[in-house]
Structure 1
């Protein structure tokens, strides 16, 4: 029986996976048009799985050569001659696997491959490759996966320059060359010049400036996830609502392939040991799966935090976006922004920088808050000390959490001061709540309401959701507007009780928690 897979290539006959037919069709259109392009997406974004499906599809019409530069060791990029030798080794190894006829050049290629002292240069290699293209009955498509392996050396730039030269000669002089060249990896090849070239050389003349734009959406759609779950349901008969589960998974992941597959994999394996079978494929089970993912020290999270720490200014900006509601305009010329998009951490949302998905957001909140925990933050400590009194019959008593938070704040700080910032309230409250739900529930910040005036914190705890609006007091009229907004938001989630936490600078304010009825909704409003 099939399983969910989060390692290496997904195979349709072995794994539950989203149907890639339409995606492959879009990419093939670029190949049919003779385009050279790069598929650069973040780690574990389904690149290799997509290329495997694409290769199978293209093989019906083209000769496809599928190389993986991970197979070339570091020494293979040390000189032009060694690279040619290693490239020839890959050609020989793939010749039978890809079922391509290289009879016109195989003698030369094997001689270069086996030479004890490599002497062939890139120009000679491309002469042979062009001879092969000219003699081939079918047009040839070259696919190179894991080009990141080559990104720190000049030899690869020279290799790209040769490909560019042949591409230009195809259109200018009518020579026959590769029908299409596809380079796949995390790194956008256009950034390679910044890594390799000396500072005194031009950084604008990219060796891959012939590449066509690749705008194919490689995230997993809600419909695609639903169809995958329906296949699983047909095999297992869990009774899940496939459409509802697909929507929830998509909401959490924004279609990031690894996260989608990992959630499903955990629901199919680990989560069943924690909750009853009828709750696995529900909001309750999803909460458990997300909690497990956030507790993992997986390679994806390691890569994201490493890249973030390598860009300290952007790290501080993202912290400000999350904690303060700061809006950062998207700038495609800002290298740090472009790189973090390339690594999959952020996305362009209506020309504004946003963290890519809800799971990454929560991971980053935990990461930033842990820095405060390491300083023995008093709110985290107080929340940890009181956590046992906030759970009653498996449900959170959020009213009691608010009461104790207000009391704790005034014991420590007294009256709010003008230097108080929105981020302080968010950090203090999240630090207080984090140990209360840690290990049992999750939280996230609703992106649609996060700004410098209002933040909605959504807590998922044992299948139950709790909506808490955090805001700075801006007067009675604004407060009434906030009450109506959270009432509408409760309708969206199908809830009848909500919570508000206001940070109020007025001297005559009434500190504490009170009940307010807005229509048929009950709100608990806390004032600091």
Structure 2
């Protein structure tokens, strides 16, 4: 069977291209040998389940331990119903043991007697009858809610002192977040409980990193060897640059380039431009993984952070550190060299498009209206039309319910995206604390650079300096500085005022909106 790039569920070595996970195996095996309880956390679809299933199989073949992987996400439905939650977890243990373990290691009927409402009693009974130490990998623990999650953590803590004879020899809890970041509301106690206090037996947390550049090359080399298809050096570099090694994105680009409907024939070499086209297809199609991330944008704590990054400003909020860590755990943002930024260029494109897709679809604009007879974009016509549109529809900014601080940026980007979709693309650079959003339109071989800023005392001087730096990086001679009025419009005659100025040898058109 021909292997392929996997984007759905755990990877299977016989079916899928895979990178080596030997280094992580070594770290986890040492923890297991030392009888330690640990946490493995990382964003969704980064390979956690794949690693745990392979480690379970490896340990069982090795023969020193009896290892079992269990997913307890089904217990989320029971929320604070402790009895039902425990029964759900026990059912999962019984089922997974039947699937993964030989008959002689599966729990006997005696293991389920007199255990009350606690799955920890079942675990104790089972460990007592097993001939070798039990190692448990418990996935999706952080999907559980409230008192149900607190109950699970406390049961594991209470059984810890009985290991290895009457409780698992070692255990790894797997999820999106480190347990120290769990902030669990207990309905019974009417207060928040920090996960670390409910599970203080954890000795180490392991974060599963994205692929390195070398691992991306290793993954694609498997396809090259299997099919003979070639990639240019710049193509592989671009795959890493666009994804920053996020495993699902790396595989999704491979699938799009090599296997899906618009795949490049295996006898042709894949170029950097092919990679960019595949990324655009992913962004527009918004597959399940990307759709799940986009859905998070509606959460208030996500909005607070993403909005601050979009407009380049820092925000002051009581739970800002907790919100920031939550988004890092989701894989939406990262700590960049300068400040908080979106985790990778593909997500950086998806987020503003997702926040403006409804508005884009409602704009009655034909992209062909703004294309010259020679196929070039008439950027002056685009800007003139936008200024007129904004004056007639300013309520789209002033009455926006969410992301209201970024409303100006989002409406302008929706306008441009609607037009540029006809034959070009937009790249964006933004990060918290930069006090701007850099935007570049690529259309028919030409590039147009914009600096977007909210009005402030220093907006003009800072904006000119920042745009000059951006133009130098793009090797352009001219660009546009747009300053949005954040305090409400009093003088409509000044709205849309345009003025060409020169700054450090660069021509800048200043537009005030």
TM-score, normalization by structure 1? 0.75
Q: Say which of 290, 297, 300 aligns to 1:308.
A: 297
Structure 1, 1-10 or 471-480: larger mean CA deviation: 471-480
User: Secondary structure, in 3 states, of the residue corresponding to 2:156?
Assistant: helix
Q: How does 1:446-461 map to 2 (within 5 A)?
A: 446-447=429-430, 451-452=434-435, 454-459=436-441
Find the counterpart in structure 1 of residue 10 from structure 2: 9
Aligned equivalent of 1:364, options 336, 339, 351 = 351
SS in 2 for 1:66: strand
Contact 2:429 2:439 in 1 (8 A): yes
Partner of 2:479: 499
Please state whether the residue corresponding to 1:486 is helix, strand or coil.
Answer: helix
Distance 1:312 1:300 in 2: 21
CA deviation map 1:427-452 (0-9, x unaligned): 45423311122265442312469822
Distance 2:334 2:314 in 1: 13
**Cα deviations by residue, 1:306-327 (Å, 9 ceiling, x for unpaired):** 4332x325414422421x2113
Alignment-derived partner of residue 309 in structure 2:
321
Question: In the alignment, which residue of structure 1 is the partner of 2:489?
Answer: none
Counterpart of 1:285 (choices 274, 295, 305) is 274
Residues 30-77 of structure 1 deviation map (CA, whole Å, 9 limit, x = unaligned): 334433122233322222112123334444353322223357795796
**1:339-389 Cα shifts (integer Å, max 9, x gaps):** 333333233446954332222222220122235447x5xxx54xx345444
Give the 5 Å matches for 1:306-455.
306-309=295-298, 311-312=299-300, 314-322=302-310, 324-328=311-315, 334-349=321-336, 352-370=339-357, 372-373=359-360, 380-381=363-364, 384-385=365-366, 387-390=368-371, 396-397=376-377, 400-402=378-380, 404-406=382-384, 408-409=386-387, 413=391, 426-438=409-421, 440-447=423-430, 451-452=434-435, 454-455=436-437
Q: Give secondary structure in 2 for the equivalent of 1:252.
A: helix
1:121-158 CA distances to partner (integer Å, 9 max, x unpaired)? 5464243244246x42xx43211223356x13745543
Q: Following the alignment from structure 2 to structure 1, what is the Cα–Cα distance between the partners of residues 372 and 13?
A: 44
Q: Which is worse superposed, 435-444 or 250-259? A: 435-444
CA distance in 2, matches of 1:10, 1:300: 16
Give distance in 2, aligned partners of 1:81 and 1:513: 69
**Which secondary structure state, in structure 1, belongs to the residue aligned with residue 230 of structure 2?**
coil
CA distance in 2, matches of 1:157, 1:319: 33
Measure the CA separation in 1 of the matches of 2:502 and 2:222: 47
How big is the shift at 1:3?
Answer: 1.0
2:139 to 145, 159, 162: 145
- How far apart, in 2, do the equivalents of 1:504 and 1:179 lie? 61
1:221 and 2:212 are equivalent in the alignment: yes
In 2 relative to 1, CA 39–393 (structure 1 residues): closer, same or farther, beyond 3 Å?
farther
Are residues 41 and 403 of structure 1, via their aligned partners in 2, closer, same or farther at CA, if it must alter by over 3 Å? same
Q: Say whether the 8 Å CA contact 2:256–2:278 is kept in structure 1.
A: yes
Q: Is the 8 A contact 2:427 2:440 kept in 1?
A: yes
Q: Secondary structure of the residue that 2:35 maps to in structure 1?
A: coil
- Partners of 1:278 and 1:82 in 2: CA distance: 55
Partner-residue secondary structure (3-state), 1:37: strand
- Residue-pair matches, total: 487
1:527 and 2:510 matched:
yes
Equivalent-residue separation in structure 1 for 2:169 and 2:445 (angstroms): 53
Distance 1:270 1:34, change over 3 A: same
2:401 paired residue number: none
| Residue pair 1:267, 1:285 contacting (<8 A) in 2 also | yes
Indicate conservation of the 8 Å contact 2:440/2:448, yes or no: yes
Deviating more after overlay: 182-191 vs 71-80? 71-80
**Structure 2 residue aligned with 1:86:** 91
Give the deviation of 1:110 after TM superposition: 2.6
* Structure 2 gap ranges (5+): 399-403, 486-493
The answer (yes or no) to whether the contact 2:36–2:203 under 8 Å persists in 1 is yes
Equivalence for 1:45: 46
Superposed counterparts of 1:123-138, under 5 Å: 124-132=121-129, 135-136=131-132
CA RMSD in angstroms, aligned pairs only: 4.5
Q: What is the deviation of 1:220?
A: 1.5
Aligned position for 1:182: 172
Mapped partners of 1:17, 1:466: distance in 2: 40
1:489 deviation in Å? Answer: 1.1
Distance 1:307 1:411 in 2: 30
